[in-house]
Amino acid sequence: MPKPKVFVSRKIFPEYLDLISRKANMELWEDELPPSRSILLKKSKGVDGILCLLTDAIDAEFMDAAGPQLKVVSQIAVGYNNIDVPEATRRNIAVGYTPDVLTNTTADFTFALLMAGARKIAAGYKFVQEGKWETWHPLHFLGQDVYGATLGIVGMGRIGFEMARRATGFNMNIIYYDVNRRTDLEQQIPMKYVDFDTLLKESDFVSLHTNLTPETNHLMSDAQFRKMKPTAVLVNASRGPVVDHAALYRALKNETIWAAALDVTEPEPIPSNDPLLTLDNCLIVPHIASASVATRREMSRLAAQNLINGLEGKELLTCVNPEVYHN
Ligand code: GLV
């Protein structure tokens, strides 16, 4: 039997590339930057599977270009808003993703962002780097306290819940909003379910943990920022488009809110002339919340194994559309 054919759209940990190449004829995109659309479509022609990233749009056009033999799309990320899942399901293509293995690492990082935003860590670092540190001053770099403050979590999924767990260590008052109330999780950690408006009004920190869907696109815009406290910090490690950046710029510039700390932007990468980059109260890092050595290794393993399972006609370890097995 000839080996199945796969395209891997970026380097992952080498041991898992080796694993894939033992099972399949693998073509690997070795550049640091993503393949262009036309290269992605060309390279994927005739493949049985693809290991892809959130920068690759996997839509009907891609599936047409790949051809009817395409069995599995294995995404190395927990989010999959770049994949047209209903279309994949209609075509009986299994879609894999990498949940769970990144939950704690992502929550650690999001909490670090929260603290950095609250305590001006990036602005202080820049000040020292620029040689501006002349003295200890009672009124310099005053931040907002984290301990005892109210944390509002939007989206009580796996990462949202781990944020809550971390917040208990800082004696924070935790409130959350989600389309589904999670009384099961409320048994484990003291936290209160509130409506979205109440969350915006009462939180000292608003941390976003929703999926990106048409409903959550620009969930945070002018009207929402106006409801927040002038001392509040917005933290976003979900997806960039959940926040309307033009509105965020106005809110930060006019001091409607106090600061923002973002791991994700719209678009990514954020253009170097984006006005948000001119603000000292806006900390932006390049979408790295899951980037620890151990977690990226685990994500590589899971994405590789999902790809192989899909090629071998086995259920994926973590599948977005398990309906394909019952079609
Ligand atoms: C990264 O953003 C992911 O979805 O894993």
Ligand 1 atom with least separation from CA of 237 = 2
For the Cβ of 290 lying below 6 angstroms from any atom of ligand 1, the answer is: yes
How many angstroms separate the alpha carbon of residue 112 from the centre of ligand 1? Answer: 17
Q: What is the pLDDT of residue 1?
A: 79
**What ranges in the chain are assigned the alpha helix state H?**
14-23, 37-44, 60-66, 85-90, 103-119, 121-129, 158-169, 183-186, 196-202, 222-227, 245-253, 293-311
Q: In what order do the strands lie in the sheet with 150-154?
A: 192-193, 173-177, 150-154, 205-208, 233-236, 259-262, 282-284
Q: Which helix (H) or strand (E) holds 139?
A: none
| Domain at 5-100+293-326: CATH code | 3.40.50.720
CATH 3.40.50.720 fits 103-284, yes or no: yes
| CA separation for the pair 103, 105 (Å, rounded) | 6
Q: What is the pLDDT of residue 41?
A: 98
Domain pair 5-100+293-326 / 103-284, same fold: yes
Ligand 1 atom with least separation from CA of 239 = 2
For the Cβ of 79 lying below 6 angstroms from any atom of ligand 1, the answer is: yes
Instruction: Kindly give the confidence (pLDDT) of every residue in the chain, 327 residues in length, as a single tens digit, with 9 standing for 90 and above.
Output: 789 999 999 999 999 999 999 999 999 999 999 999 999 999 999 999 999 999 999 999 999 999 999 999 999 999 999 999 999 999 999 999 999 999 999 999 999 999 999 999 999 999 999 999 999 999 999 999 999 999 999 999 999 999 999 999 999 999 999 999 999 999 999 999 999 999 999 999 999 999 999 999 999 999 999 999 999 999 999 999 999 999 999 999 999 999 999 999 999 999 999 999 999 999 999 999 999 999 999 999 999 999 999 999 999 999 999 999 986
How many angstroms separate the alpha carbon of residue 214 from the centre of ligand 1? Answer: 18
Q: What is the pLDDT of residue 326?
A: 81
The pTM of the full predicted model, rounded to 2 decimals, is 0.96
> Which of 91, 5, 104, 89 lies closest to 51, judged by CA?
5
Q: Say which of 10, 239, 296, 301 is annotated catalytic.
A: 239
How many angstroms separate the alpha carbon of residue 103 from the centre of ligand 1? Answer: 10
The residue type found at 247 is A
Q: What is the pLDDT of residue 4?
A: 98
Q: What is the pLDDT of residue 15?
A: 98
Q: Is 287 considered catalytic here?
A: yes
Residue 20 in tokens: 């894939």
Ligand 1 atom with least separation from CA of 77 = 5
Domain ranges in the chain are 5-100+293-326, 103-284
For the Cβ of 78 lying below 6 angstroms from any atom of ligand 1, the answer is: yes
Q: State which of 12, 56, 78 you would mutate to test the pocket of ligand 1, scoring each by most atoms of that ligand within 8 A of its C-beta.
A: 78
The residue type found at 62 is F
How many angstroms separate the alpha carbon of residue 255 from the centre of ligand 1? Answer: 30
